[in-house]
Amino acid sequence: MDLTKVGKASEFLMKSEKAKEALIDAFGSGTMKDDIRNRLSLVQEIAEFCERDETEMILVKGVISSFLENRKPTPEDIRETIDILSECQKDLKDYVIEKTHLSSPRSEEFNEYYAAISEYVKAKEESKC
């Protein structure tokens, strides 16, 4: 298991909702704030990490560059980019779950710790949304 890749996937999964919000904020906003700019760059990074196909990457890059050049992309392009990001979120979640699933026998104590940590992480993710 490549822990670096799993860690990066987990990090992108946690930041992906903020990236979606940045797309929506950028589309609705007349001005481009620095925090929105930074979160927009995440959209492209996430799509690249998820190895989206060339056509989707062209769309994502085009939407982001439009925003950075103070032009508004079409609502259809925004919707498609959000769909791509949603698919990436699902892929990231599936990847993290698959790679962190332990298949060896577990002690009762391990199961208790694992359940407590899982609940904590789930609560933390829900509080960020």
**Number of helices and strands (H, E) in the chain?**
5, 0
Are 66 and 72 in contact, with CB atoms under 8 Å apart? yes
Which segments in the chain show pLDDT lower than 70? 1, 30-31, 102-106, 129
Are 53 and 28 in contact, with CB atoms under 8 Å apart? no
Identify the CATH assignment for 3-102 out of 1.20.120, 3.30.460, 3.40.50, 3.40.630. Answer: 1.20.120
What is the reported pLDDT for 104?
A: 55
CA–CA gap between residue 66 and residue 72 (Å, rounded): 6
Q: What is the pTM of this model?
A: 0.72
What is the reported pLDDT for 9?
A: 92
Q: Delimit the domains of the chain by residue range.
A: 3-102
